Amino acid sequence: MWAGDIGSIRCERCYNLIPADDGSTSMVMWSDGRYVIRYVSKDNFGILYLWDRLVPVSTMYMHELCRKNGVTVEEIIKSVSDKSREADWMELSREMMAAENGYMIYIDYFMKRLSLSYDDAKLLAIHFTGMGPEAIAIKFGLPLESVRHSFDVIMKAYSDCGIVVDDTIFTENPFKYYGN
């Protein structure tokens, strides 16, 4: 393993992001050699990432996949081990690829609701799909610090609108934006 340019850890073999040692877990659910579906979880909250080689394409919340298929996380994890759902994973990768730009329908709303610039609203919209800051930086070819700065702008916009948000995924202390 080696540290990537944006401070995350990447696998030397597949170059996919691996979560930092912060109690999170990561596993490859499926791969066809080009596309990879990776499950990342922390604090019992899971996200599926679809990667096209070195670029994150889209995300899906694990609970959405479970609800859609009427299964538990444990059943899905077991199916990865016994390879019983390979066809389902291929179909899921197609669905996730088709949803790659689904976040864009929310950009205008965030621009108007929070008075955000197009770029900041775009980052917030894709973050709402479950994509974390490191993956967002890679997807859009941005420095991680630029993404984090945008999230600070977003948190300030929430605060200015009186909306309290606890999103420690992109802000270390989100409550610093709210008065005492």
Residue 154 has pLDDT above 90, yes or no: yes
Contact 19, 25 (CB under 8 A): yes
pLDDT tens for 29-53 read: 899 999 999 998 876 678 999 999 8
Amino acid identity of residue 138, one-letter, is I
Domain residue limits, the chain:
1-100, 101-180
Residue 7 pLDDT class (50, 70, 90 cuts):
very low
Residue 4 pLDDT class (50, 70, 90 cuts):
very low
Residue 99 has pLDDT above 80, yes or no: yes
Residue 175 has pLDDT above 70, yes or no: no
Mean pLDDT of the chain: 82
Residue 166 pLDDT class (50, 70, 90 cuts):
low
Q: Please report the pLDDT score of residue 107 as a whole number.
A: 96
**Summary count for the chain: helices (H), strands (E):** 7, 7
Q: In sequence order, which residues have a C-beta less than 8 Å from that of residue 137 and are 6 or more positions away?
A: 6, 143, 144, 146, 147
Least confident interval from 74-83, 88-97, 140-149: 74-83
Q: What is the pTM of this model?
A: 0.78
Residue 58 has pLDDT above 60, yes or no: yes
Q: In sequence order, which residues have a C-beta less than 8 Å from that of residue 152 and are 6 or more positions away?
A: 171
Amino acid identity of residue 5, one-letter, is D
Q: Which residue has the tokens 């005492």?
A: 180
Residue 151 has pLDDT above 70, yes or no: yes
Residue 150 pLDDT class (50, 70, 90 cuts):
very high
